Amino acid sequence: MRYVRVPKERIAVLIGKNGEVKELIEKHGINIEINSSNGEVKITGKNSLDEINAENVVKAIARGFSPEKAMLLFNEDYYFELLDIREWAGKKENHIKRLAGRVIGKEGKARRVIEDISGAYVTIYGHTIGIIGRIKEMQSAKRAIEMLLDGANHSTVYHFLEKERRKRKMEEFGIM
């Protein structure tokens, strides 16, 4: 049995239209009980691996991912990681917003470039940054985000991502 707290404004997304998202999660041998008054979600399943996967799906939806992207986490090739911007910014709200803005970029460009080049999915919600992807994609996206949070220039981060993408392609074709 696992518990996840979901922000109240994300509960409707977790349930879905006519309960569709909740039903999709439950098709994986999971039972979900949602307390909409406090946002607590109780997850029970046949085994702990199913529960962990469902917990990650619920956390991903809670942190801003669409249900479609979050459902990828039921696939054993996909992973979920959550970074807390407060580890770089401290607790000052204006620092958190500034760093989140660096990762989002002007009109969402930085986030979009990270997603396009790494192949991972990224969402920024409150003081957290969520990443969903296969292991190599996720590692590239996470490193790029950490570089931005550490103050690296956007162009430096984009060059890093391009280099990582070339490396992945060469590995795919057995050149490395």
- Indicate the pLDDT class of residue 115, thresholds 50, 70 and 90: very high
The per-residue pLDDT for range 36-77, each reduced to its tens digit, is 899 999 999 989 999 999 999 999 999 999 999 999 999 999
| Residue 101: predicted pLDDT | 96
**Token representation of residue 176:** 């490395």
What average pLDDT does range 99-122 have in this prediction?
Answer: 97
| Residue 172: predicted pLDDT | 78
| Residue 86: predicted pLDDT | 97
| Residue 148: predicted pLDDT | 98
Domains of the chain: 2-74 (3.30.1370.10), 79-172 (3.30.1370.10)
Q: CA separation (Å) from 110 to 1, 22, 84, 124? A: 38, 32, 18, 12
| Residue 176: predicted pLDDT | 59
| Residue 51: predicted pLDDT | 94
Q: Is 9 helix (H, G, I), strand (E, B) or coil?
A: helix
pTM for this entry: 0.91
Which of 129, 57, 115, 45 shows the shortest CA–CA distance to 87? 129
The per-residue pLDDT for range 133-150, each reduced to its tens digit, is 999 999 999 999 999 999
Cβ-proximal residues to 115 (8 Å cutoff; 6+ apart), any chain: 121, 122, 141
Share of the chain above pLDDT 90, in %: 91
Secondary structure in 3-state letters for 53-64: HHHHHHHHHHCC
